[in-house]
Structures are given as C-alpha cells and as structure tokens.
Amino acid sequence: MVAVILLARFALAGVFTLASVTKLLDRKAFERGLTQFGVSDQLAGGLSYVIPLAEIAIAAAFLIDWLALDAAASALVLLGAFSVAITVNLVRGRRPECHCFGVLKPEPIGSGVLIRNGILGGLSALVLLRGQGLQLDTVFIVRPALVGILTGALVILVAAESWVLLRVLGQQGRMLARLDGLEGAKRRAGLPVNDLAPAFQLPDANGQLRSLRALVDANRPVMLIFVSPTCRTCHALLPEIATWQQQLREHLTILLISTGTAESNRPLLAYQPAESVLLQAGTEVLSAYESPGPPSAVLVGPAGTIASRLASGPVEIRALVGEILGTGEPSTRVPVTAS
C-alpha cells in the first residue's frame, strides 16, 4: 500500500503538471474553451491564468510530505468542479471542446472525460484517506529498493512529458511556417467585394431545398459559413456560431454550408437548427466562392453580391463578426441593414 500511495502522488503530480503547462502554452484557446462552457468573457480571462497556476501548485504540493493531503483535497475540489461543469453541459445537449490538456488534446466533452476525472479523483481520494503520516524520506530509508522504482518512474514521466511538449512546440513552429507560406494565398482567396455571389440551391438537413435567391431580401443579408463534419476546428467554433446567431438575428441570417449527409453532420445539428445547415454533395459551393477550405465565411448582401472579404479560419471569422457587431476595426466595411 505504501508503494501504491507514493506512485499515486507521483502520477497525480505529473498529470497536473502536464495539464498546467499545456494550458499555458495556448492560454487563449483555453480561455475560449471556458467561454464555450458558459463562463463570462471577463471571468474566463482571469480563470485562464488561475486554473493552470492552481494545477501547478497542486502538482508541487503532491511532492511535499506535509502538503500532500492538502494537495489531494484541492485536486478533488478542482476535479469535482470540472465534472459538474461537464455534466451540466452534457445534460443541456452541448458538447463544447475540452482543453483539459491545452494544446495537447483538445476534444469535445463526453463520458470519456468524466471517466478520466473519476480515475484521477479516485487516486486523490486514496492519497487523502491513506496517506496520513506517510513521508518520502522515511520510506526511502526503510525501503531503499523503492527509491530506484520511484526515481525511475519519475524520470520516465518527466522524459515523456518533455518529449510530448517538444513535439507540440515543433508542430506549432511548423504550423506557423506553413501559415507564413500560405499568407499570400490567403490574401488572394475569395471573390472580390461587389461581385455577384454564385447562386446555389441546396437541401437543408431536413431535406428541404433552399436557394440563395430566396434567402437574400431587401432587409436581411446572409452570412455563409463553410464547415465540414470532419473539421475539428469547425466543431470547436460551433458554440460561438450559435452565440453569433443570437446576437445578429435582427440583422442577418447565418447559414452553415457543409458536405455529406444529415447523419454525418449530427454534431453540427447539436448546435444548429436543421434549416440552418445546408448540405452540398462535394465542395462545389465552397469552390464557387473560392474558399481555401473550412472553416471560412463570407457575407452576401441584400442585392445578392459579395459584401465582405472571405474570412478564412477562426481568427478571421471572429474579426468579420466583430466588424458586423461594431466591436472590431473593419478592413472592408460591411453593409448591414437592421430589419
């Protein structure tokens, strides 16, 4: 039992260290993830610092004899809060992306995340209930063989975390280089403003045909957001799109243009009404609007003409929405007429 408790402390210290460091490597993504869980923007900004710092403090405390029980209790509180937030969102039919391990493994919440929290909570409870009076120096003197086992386990854990973090940083570097290489192509993507928007007629997720001509009228421009059922970035953006639809419902119509069948687009339909999701057979509409790929967005004005630059990727899409809401500085003024 002594060895089990000590291994549990080392394992929990490693997990909380990994969770903290990977969140801090992409703090902005973690902050956006908190807002998807329903946390206000102001509170999310503070929590994006507080939670990783709390996790690293808990990790350090697990390695200090006189703080180990406090670390276990704090871990149980933190894991319990996470689990409650996840359960509430699942009950409401929402699956925001979990940034539990930051840039390492962003994923939509589900039962797997709750099971993982349960396992970590069980280890924390074990340390809290059976770790009283257990000191590392005493155990190491009495059981010298255990020193080699725990030291080896710690070395392997640190080496594995370092390898993972180096890979993540390397991937980020390659992505930045690729983005730099694509910057020129991004500037050329999309149709010129004021050009006639390519017409289309597509079925929505209910099977009803909808045409661009019928969608635009004198008072309601249409924002087309191109997505894909296999695009993880698109899935992470869905809660924000749902929020934009509420904020802009008096000004314009937001439509998602995806590919595949209604069944393959079921994750989208968890956030969007079926009539707001149009399904193209392949990428014909995406290509007609000269989009480099999902996620991307463009505004079509009441006259059926292109009313904005093509926004490619989450950052540019958010900037385009900010222009429409009047919270950002537009590079192309977007004409939106209130109904």
Helix (H) or strand (E) holding 222: strand 222-226
CA distance 146 to 291: 59
Look at residue 225 in the predicted model and tell me its pLDDT: 94
* CATH H superfamily, domain 201-325: Glutaredoxin (3.40.30.10)
> Model-level pTM?
0.45
- What is the pairing mode between strands 277-280 and 296-300? unpaired
User: Which sequence spans correspond to the domains of the chain?
Assistant: 2-181, 201-325
Residue closest to 210 by CA, chosen among 267, 269, 285 = 285
Look at residue 170 in the predicted model and tell me its pLDDT: 59
Amino acid (one-letter) located at 39: V
Helix (H) or strand (E) holding 8: helix 2-25
> Could you list the pLDDT tens digit for every one of the 339 residues in the chain?
677 888 888 889 989 998 888 888 888 888 888 887 878 877 888 888 889 898 999 988 888 877 888 888 999 999 998 888 888 888 877 777 777 776 666 677 878 888 888 999 899 888 888 766 555 544 444 445 544 555 555 556 555 555 555 555 555 556 655 655 554 444 457 889 889 999 898 999 999 998 888 887 656 789 999 999 888 889 889 999 988 888 888 888 899 999 988 888 888 888 888 888 999 988 889 989 998 889 999 999 888 899 999 998 999 999 999 888 775 443 333 444 433
Look at residue 299 in the predicted model and tell me its pLDDT: 92
Look at residue 289 in the predicted model and tell me its pLDDT: 92
Look at residue 223 in the predicted model and tell me its pLDDT: 92
